[in-house]
Structure 1
Amino acid sequence: MDRCSIECLCPGIDDPQTAFGGTLAAVVKTRSGNLSWDILGSWTSEVQYWFDTSVNSMKSYKAPVYIEQTLTRVFGGGTTSIALKQVNVLFLDRNLYYLRLMPMAETWIAPFLGLRLGIEGSTVIRNDEFLPGWGGTCGLSFKFWKLTLDANYTLRQRPSRSLPDIVVPESILYITLTANGLFRQQKDFAPGTVRSIACQVIILLLYLN
């Protein structure tokens, strides 16, 4: 379908729009810090579009609500952890729900190098039909000075959220650089106490396919 056809099917699809949104997160930990649960939710007022094959036309819809929660257990004094992440993508004005469940494990094989591995099961529930998907992820963390470099690669076979009987292959490389302990604060604290402020920069988010 060429650009002219899309604009004819959905006038205004290229018009600029102003959107706003927000994110809310919370973390709960045990006193020892070995077990934690966190939850994050985000929302935006952006208007998006999808192709409805039942009427052969583009339709607009509100951007979905994103809710993610993770249960993490730490072992070996923090050198090894296992986690179960669950992600919900809720489409409020479409009969559509996207669910992902991801168990994963991470271990630090050296003070400066950590490795992680995970698998993913997913499903798209569209018009009361369950469409399964799968995937896997691997990554590493490398610490040097006050910086931590994280690299993750994900291969995913995701059911289409619009087209029936279509599975979408996704290959994603995600790299972040985090800086900690950049500022030292001694007032109202014991001498030498470091108050860490983390700064995260997304270096690359790349769809390879």
Structure 2
Amino acid sequence: MASIQEIKLSYSEDQTRLINESFELGASAQHHTGAMSPELEGKLGPQEADRVRAAEASAWADKDRARLRTHYEELDIEKRAAIELRVEQIERELSPGEVNFGDRLAASAATPEALIGAMDSALTSGDEDAALLAFQIARQRDLEKVVAHAVTVREDWGDLYGELVEAAEDPELDPGDRFEMFAKPAPTKEAILAAPLDDRNIYGMMR
């Protein structure tokens, strides 16, 4: 299974693509207007016809930007679910097997120095379950000294523990607010009308 870092990077790339799409809405909106008959355009006149087209383009851009935001938020939900699955997998890998109640009780009451000693002895004798118990209890009790020792003597534990730390780092903003912070607003009717002809190409292309 992908690591926490890989999961976050993958979803971040997908979400970044959605943000980038928001910057293309102005150009894309030009191609999303309803057909207008020559008769109707003649009645409206060139300027009013362009205003109608610009309004249609702006409405499409609003709708498509909402689609981008919804997809962005959905990706965030999927990302959190994937992270939770990976965290569960890591916790299983860092959990001891069968441990009797007495050993767990003793570890829960042990000093940090005693836990480090027990961990080292267990690793030396090949009793990984006992070592994992000491590591698990240290994490539950927030014994930083013991945790630091564990991830030093066992690099693989350090890698897994690093993923747990990464998983616990939540962004301050919710996904919707994050999208609004970075995405470009949908172009208004006035902005479309005011755009250079090369940008909007509304007069020649839509008649």
Which has the larger share of helix?
2
Question: Same fold judged by TM-score > 0.5?
Answer: no
- TM value normalised by structure 2: 0.18
Which has the larger share of strand?
1
Task: Pick the structure with greater CA Rg.
Answer: 2
Higher relative contact order (CA 8 A, sep 6+): 2
- TM value normalised by structure 1: 0.18
